[in-house]
Copies of this chain bind each other. A is one copy, B any other.
């Protein structure tokens, strides 16, 4: 029983994929050589850790919706490989492994079919690389700090995109926007893989042994404390005193986001733990209370809680970075100068991500791409040959 009005992907997705893929090959053919030497110092095991996060972690994190598991994990793989190839080309192979992390927030998009997802991936990757280039060229910001802006960039890009793409009737959750007991476990699997390898993600851009170790320990501690804080706040704000699995799955990761932005200045364990605690509390409170308001007030379907998990903890990390930096300075003038500079980098990232989000949203909304109807949102049947599958 095929749903009558489900979009037929054949005339759009297949040509787009083949066109992009052929284009990538042609560009590579004419321009790109493997700059092996750039990567020689980079150990395989760390590459694999990030690979596990992108492919298995985010892939399974996206399986929590009861009828959307195939799409969650399958489209994640597709978007990941397209976006990676695009960023390899944009960066000319020089920083491709770092850039793989650009994908992080693509998981949050709704109202889209796979054709749209791929457009979004292309535009978001371009925007993020442009942002890094702006910050590094005009503000002489360090690459590590630029890379860590990806949580903030991705979250606000995604939020604006979702807001632009809102439709009539999108103020309420959809019929199929829920989890069951088994999909909750699949999703827990994704969370745990992200949680475990987050320390590798944060440490991957740093070469020096001792600094690397400090970052691994700080990240572990921040994640540990934010998991505890998420559980505590979730129980505390529940009328019947129960834990919400969704809070544990998402807010346990918020410590890793917040510490990521500020880690270059975190030298003692208690600082990492405090940042983790604040991130866990803010993120859980926002997921419990703010998310529903966003839906009602703006029609913003933030299905994965991107604002709570990446947006607010990213801002918190920015604030922690500012505070720690100023704290080290004796001279008031230098401190004020630094603060102004630091605020500017944030404003640039925010305005670029939000305007790119709006532009992408308008482009993607264009009916040429045949977005799915409300009834079909979060339903695998719209895109996958599911029933009576003989393999």
Q: Which residues of A contact B (CB under 8 A)?
A: 2, 6-11, 13-14, 17-18, 20-21, 24-26, 28-29, 32-34, 36-37, 39-40, 43-49, 51-52, 55-56, 59-60, 63-65, 67, 69-70, 73-74, 77-78, 81-82, 84-85, 114, 173, 177-179, 181-182, 184-186, 188-189, 192-193, 195-197, 199-200, 203, 209-210, 212-214, 216-217, 221, 223-225, 227-229, 231-233, 235-236, 238, 240-246, 248, 252, 267-270, 273-274, 277, 303, 305, 380, 383-386, 388-391
CB distance from A142 to the nearest CB of B (A): 21
Q: How far apart are the CA atoms of A359 and B217 in the complex, in Å?
A: 33
> Which one of B20, B34, B45, B74 lies within 8 Å of A188 (CB-CB)?
B74
Give 30 A-B contacts (CB < 8 Å), ordered by A residue.
A10-B235, A17-B228, A17-B232, A17-B235, A20-B228, A21-B277, A24-B225, A25-B277, A26-B270, A29-B270, A33-B268, A34-B214, A34-B267, A34-B269, A44-B199, A44-B216, A55-B195, A59-B188, A73-B185, A74-B188, A77-B192, A78-B227, A78-B231, A173-B390, A178-B388, A178-B389, A179-B391, A243-B385, A245-B384, A245-B389
Q: What is the CA–CA distance of A209 and B39 in the complex, to the nearest angstrom?
A: 10
Q: Are B81 and A9 closer than 8 Å at their CB atoms?
A: no
> Are A210 and B270 also in contact (CB < 8 A) when A228-B81, A232-B17, A385-B238 are?
no
Task: Assess the B48–A246 pair: CB atoms within 8 A.
Answer: no
- Protomer copies: 3
Provide the residues of chain B in CB contact with A51, threshold 8 Å: 196
The answer to whether B385 and A274 touch across the interface, beta carbons within 8 angstroms, is no
CB distance from A169 to the nearest CB of B (A): 16
> When the two chains form their complex, are residues A232 and B389 in contact, meaning their CB atoms are under 8 A apart?
no
Residues of the B chain whose Cβ atoms lie less than 8 Å from the Cβ of A84:
224
* In the complex, residue of chain B having the shortest beta-carbon distance to the beta carbon of A96: B217
Contacts A2-B240, A242-B383, A248-B77 given; does A69 touch B390 at CB 8 Å: no
B243 touches A74 (CB 8 A): yes
CA of A245 to CA of B69, assembled, Å = 11
Residue of A224, A242, A385 with highest tally of chain B CB at under 10 A: A242
Query: Can you name the residue of chain B whose Cβ is closest to the Cβ of A381?
Result: B242
